[in-house]
Amino acid sequence: MNDASLSAATMSAEGLASAGLPAEAAAGRGPLKIAVYGTGYLGATHAVAMAELGFEVLGADVDQAKVDALAAGKVPFFEPGLDPLLEKHLATGRLRFTTDLTSAAAWGDVHFICVGTPQMKTSHAANLSYVESAATTIAKNLTKDALIVGKSTVPVGTAARLRELVAAQAPAGVSLELVWNPEFLREGKAVDDTLHPDRIVLGGTSERAEATLREVYAGPIAEGTPVVVTDLPTAELVKVSANAFLATKISFINAISTVCEAAGADVTVLADALGHDVRIGRQFLNAGLGFGGGCLPKDIRALMHRANELGAYRASALLQQVDEINMGQRERVLDMAVEACGGSVLNRRIGVLGAAFKPDTDDVRDSPALNVAAALHLRGAQVTVFDPEAGDTARRSFPTLSYATSIEEAVEGTDAVLVLTEWDQFATADADKLAPLTATPRVVDARGKLDPARWRAAGWEFAGLGRPAA
């Protein structure tokens, strides 16, 4: 952020700091009314979690199909533990969904913005149009004092700009405050991460807004979750820096895995040994096909873009390397598949285990597994994909691949099998039973999940990223 926008943000902060607490909360009159805008992975989980914490919640989205599904008790994506809680709170009457954003704005005391910030089609920048549209709709349609809380992942400096936008849109006589409270939930663990977060970051809050958010998060705070109260740019940056650090950790171990391969060392053993150092830690040191999904790739690119705009060129260069190493892993796995098939995959049958970008989700956004499967298909291989949960979402994105409904079906008659997503059921698959189903038992483990000794003993030719040859 430059000085001019910083002072603009500070001025707006002062102007908005007089904004009142929602009246009900201030007067201790009943639970807060919480409106949540956007009902994707973040918003749907947040809305359900807010109901679980005891609030009256209205989830609002422009997507009629999503709203209909949620209102009927069906989560429109796979997220362990979310369906029963959704059903529970539709039944308690605390949780409702609507496409009427205008009424949600008039109804709520606290308005959480949880809409997406995808990567722009033409650059690495984040597309902020959904965030801007949500903030404008809320501000324009307020009928009482309110608190707008941004949770979406945004480039640093966005919240300050939004403050000016909402201040210009709010009806006269209504006072509002806009703060930032980034979300750190992981897909597959979203419910637990939301109800029991590692930390709560509150950016740009007045004392009254902080009190309201402490009321919202009273449950997790009572459990000991630390609260970090800071300014807007720091809150925005905490989020993207966390994702950038995780991405860097993955690319670090993937870079080291190339050294391991060249030197005949085993990167999985190395990672375990590194992880015993509490300063390093074992998590996010799994070498393999690299990171994908709707967050890490686009967040590091948006940070790269913003760092460049701000003149922080070294940070940008570091993230560029992280991205390059990550994308290079997909090439490495393709090369391994070609090598396993004797120099060409043309007309070879390849079984791909995994389509989701990681286990415990059906999300295939920027999935490294599907990327590799599609690239093999383009090189003339006959590719059959199996994923325990992401078969349908994968088929919608890549209808030209063929899909199996079991591991056995995917490996049937294959010249090579690739393990591309780290689902537990692939790690525990019965190598002895699978071997005779193949044309030739060859496996490429691109996630470091299989036990090479067990698979080799079952007659498989085994190749693993960063693992020594037999």
Which residues in this chain contact ligand UGA in the complex, by CB under 6 A? 153, 183-187, 243, 246, 250, 284-286, 288, 290-293, 295-296, 299, 357-358
122 is in an annotated binding site: no
261 is in an annotated binding site: no
- Helix axes of 313-340 and 296-309: crossing angle, nearest 10 degrees: 150
- DSSP class of residue 436 equals G
Please report how close the Cβ of residue 347 comes to ligand UGA at its closest, in angstroms: 30
Residues recorded for the chain:
470
Please report how close the Cβ of residue 75 comes to ligand UGA at its closest, in angstroms: 16
Comparison of 15 and 40: residue with beta carbon closer to ligand UGA:
40
285 is in an annotated binding site: yes
Query: What are the b/e assignments for 272-298, b being 16+ CB within 10 Å?
Result: eebeeeeeeeeebbbbbbbbbbbbbbb
277 is in an annotated binding site: no
Residue 248 structure tokens: 């860097």
In Å, what is the CA distance from 321 to each residue of 25, 247, 301? 48, 11, 11
Please report how close the Cβ of residue 285 comes to ligand UGA at its closest, in angstroms: 6
Residues 6+ apart with CB under 8 A from 229: 202, 205, 210
Q: Is 3 helix (H, G, I), strand (E, B) or coil?
A: helix
Please report how close the Cβ of residue 367 comes to ligand UGA at its closest, in angstroms: 8
Comparing CA positions, the residue from 194, 261, 241 lying closest to residue 48 is 194
Please report how close the Cβ of residue 248 comes to ligand UGA at its closest, in angstroms: 12
288 is in an annotated binding site: yes
Q: Which residue has the tokens 């984040």?
A: 126
287 is in an annotated binding site: yes
Comparison of 177 and 299: residue with beta carbon closer to ligand UGA:
299
Comparison of 79 and 109: residue with beta carbon closer to ligand UGA:
79
Please report how close the Cβ of residue 239 comes to ligand UGA at its closest, in angstroms: 7
| 295 is a catalytic site residue | yes
CA distance 426 to 362: 16
Comparison of 44 and 246: residue with beta carbon closer to ligand UGA:
246
462 is in an annotated binding site: no
389 is in an annotated binding site: no
Query: What are the b/e assignments for 204-227, b being 16+ CB within 10 Å?
Result: bbbebbeebbebbbeebbeeeeee
Long-range contacts of 82-88 (CB under 8 A, 24+ apart): 82/44, 82/45, 82/48, 82/190, 82/191, 85/48, 85/49, 85/51, 85/52, 85/191, 86/44, 86/48, 88/52
85 is in an annotated binding site: no
Position 54, amino acid:
G
Comparison of 22 and 290: residue with beta carbon closer to ligand UGA:
290
Residues 6+ apart with CB under 8 A from 408: 433, 434, 437
Comparison of 54 and 328: residue with beta carbon closer to ligand UGA:
328
* Contact in structure between 152 and 40 (CB atoms under 8 Å): no
Please report how close the Cβ of residue 211 comes to ligand UGA at its closest, in angstroms: 26
CA distance 394 to 371: 11
121 is in an annotated binding site: no
Residues 6+ apart with CB under 8 A from 218: 53
Comparison of 16 and 271: residue with beta carbon closer to ligand UGA:
271
Active-site entry in 114, 260, 295, 341? 295
87 is in an annotated binding site: no
Q: How far apart are the first and last CA of the chain?
A: 53
Residues 6+ apart with CB under 8 A from 352: 369, 372, 373, 376, 383, 384, 385, 386, 401, 410, 417, 418, 420
Comparison of 43 and 108: residue with beta carbon closer to ligand UGA:
43
- Helix axes of 158-169 and 3-17: crossing angle, nearest 10 degrees: 50
Dihedrals φ, ψ of 442, to 5°? -125, 130
Comparing CA positions, the residue from 470, 35, 466, 42 lying closest to residue 254 is 466
Burial of 184 (0-12, 13-18, 19+ CB in 10 A): middle
Active site residues: 295
Residue ranges of the annotated binding site are: 61, 66, 117, 153, 184-187, 239, 284-288, 292, 298, 358, 365
Residue ranges of the annotated binding site for NAD(+) are: 61, 66, 117, 153, 187, 298, 365
Residue ranges of the annotated binding site for substrate are: 184-187, 239, 284-288, 292, 358
